[in-house]
C-alpha cells in the first residue's frame, strides 16, 4: 500500500497560537514552529531534520525562539537540536537521556513560560518510557505516542503498551474533545476523533479485547486484538503475547 499524500508544510492558526508543521524526512517525521500571537514568542518542537526550513520559518515570524522542545530521543525527532541552538538560540527542554545538551530536563508536570502562554509538560510513556507531550492552550504535541487513529509502536526498548493505555485513560480522557493533537508523524487529530475512532484507544478505555484472528509474530502464533491504519499507508496491529502482555507492532512484522 502506498503512503498517503501529505503536505510538506501546513499552517494552523487560532486566535492565540499559530502552528506551522513541517514534514522533515522520508519517515514523514513532523517538526513544528509555534508562535504565541500575543507576544510573538516562538517554540520549535522535534527538529529532526530540515533545520534550514525551521530557521527560515522562525525568521519569518520574528526569530524570538524561546524553547526547543523534544518529545522523545529518537534521532528523527532530535538530530537537528545542536545545529538549531547554534543558529537561533533558545533553551532546550526534553528528556535528559537524549544526544543533546538539555537546559531544562523534563519528565512531566513542569510548566514552561512562553510569552503570554504556559507550556504544560505531561509524561506520556508508551512508545518510549520517557516520552513527554507539550500542551499550549488547545494544542498538544504528542510525538510518537499517537499517530492519527493509531499509535506509535510499543515493541522497542523500554516501550510499553500498558503504559500507553494508562496514559490514554489518565491524561487524554480528561481533555476536551476539540483539543488538537499534533502527532509525530502524519496528520493531526483531536481528542474527540481518537475517542470515537481509534481502535487501540477503545481497548485502552475498556472495550473488550476480542481476538480478530491469529498471526505469526517472531516465530509464534499470537492473537491479533485490533488493527489500525498507519501514517505511511501500512497498518499497525495490537497483539497479545504468550505471557499475557500486549504489544503494538507494524503489520509488516506479522505473517498469516
DSSP for 58-104, written as a single string: HHHTT--EEEEE-S---HHHHTTHHHHHHHH--EEEE-TTSSS--SE
Closest CA to 135 of 155, 167, 108: 108
Tally of CB atoms within 10 A around 21: 22
Instruction: With a cut of 50, say whether residue 3 has pLDDT above it.
Output: no
Q: Where would I find the H helices in 169-213?
A: 191-197, 199-204
Instruction: With a cut of 60, say whether residue 83 has pLDDT above it.
Output: yes
Given the C-alpha cell 530536563, which residue does it identify?
105
Question: What average pLDDT does the structure give for the chain?
Answer: 94
What was the pLDDT predicted at 47? 97
Instruction: With a cut of 80, say whether residue 7 has pLDDT above it.
Output: no
CA–CA gap between residue 204 and residue 164 (Å, rounded): 8
The total number of residues written for the chain in this structure: 256
Task: At 156, give phi and psi (nearest 5°).
Answer: -85, 175
* Beta strands 65-69; 42-45: pairing state: parallel
Region 119-128: mean pLDDT is 98
CA–CA gap between residue 16 and residue 10 (Å, rounded): 17
Closest CA to 47 of 26, 62, 63, 25: 25
By mean pLDDT, which of 14-28, 39-53, 63-77, 180-194 is the weakest? 14-28
Region 196-210: mean pLDDT is 97
pLDDT in tens, 150-161: 999 999 999 999
Region 195-210: mean pLDDT is 97
Grid coordinates representing 226?
A: 485490533
What was the pLDDT predicted at 2? 43
Instruction: With a cut of 60, say whether residue 176 has pLDDT above it.
Output: yes
Region 209-229: mean pLDDT is 96
Q: Distances from the Cα of 206 to the Cαs of 19, 169, 199, 210, in angstroms?
A: 33, 9, 11, 12
Residues with Cβ within 8 Å of 182's Cβ and at least 6 positions away in sequence, in order, are: 19, 21, 30, 32, 45, 139, 140, 141, 142, 188
Name the architecture of domain 9-207.
4-Layer Sandwich (3.60)
Amino acid at each position: 500500500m502506498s503512503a498517503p499524500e501529505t503536505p510538506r508544510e501546513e499552517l494552523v492558526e487560532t486566535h492565540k497560537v499559530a502552528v506551522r508543521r513541517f514534514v522533515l524526512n522520508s519517515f514523514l517525521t513532523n517538526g513544528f514552529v509555534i508562535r504565541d500571537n500575543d507576544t510573538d514568542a516562538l517554540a520549535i518542537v522535534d527538529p529532526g531534520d530540515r533545520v534550514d526550513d525551521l530557521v527560515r520559518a522562525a525568521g519569518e515570524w520574528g526569530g524570538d525562539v524561546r524553547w526547543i522542545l523534544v518529545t522523545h530521543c529518537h534521532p528523527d525527532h532530535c538530530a537537528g537540536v545542536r545545529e538549531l541552538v547554534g543558529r537561533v538560540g533558545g533553551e532546550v527542554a526534553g528528556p535528559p537521556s537524549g544526544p543533546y545538551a538539555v537546559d531544562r530536563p523534563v519528565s512531566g508536570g513542569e510548566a514552561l513560560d512562553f510569552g503570554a502562554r504556559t507550556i504544560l509538560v505531561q509524561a506520556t510513556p508508551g512508545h518510549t518510557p520517557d516520552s513527554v507531550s507539550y500542551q499550549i492552550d488547545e494544542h498538544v504535541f504528542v510525538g510518537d505516542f499517537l499517530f492519527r487513529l493509531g499509535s506509535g509502536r510499543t515493541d522497542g526498548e523500554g516501550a510499553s503498551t500498558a503504559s500507553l493505555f494508562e496514559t490514554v485513560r489518565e491524561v487524554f480522557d480528561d481533555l476536551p474533545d476539540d483539543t488538537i493533537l499534533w502527532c509525530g508523524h502524519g496528520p493531526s487529530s483531536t481528542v474527540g476523533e481518537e475517542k470515537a475512532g481509534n481502535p487501540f484507544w477503545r481497548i485502552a478505555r475498556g472495550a473488550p479485547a476480542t481476538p480478530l484472528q491469529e498471526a505469526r509474530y517472531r516465530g509464534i502464533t499470537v492473537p491479533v486484538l485490533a488493527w489500525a491504519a498507519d501514517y505511511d499507508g501500512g497498518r499497525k496491529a495490537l497483539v497479545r503475547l504468550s505471557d499475557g502482555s500486549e504489544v503494538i507492532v507494524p503489520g509488516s512484522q506479522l505473517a498469516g
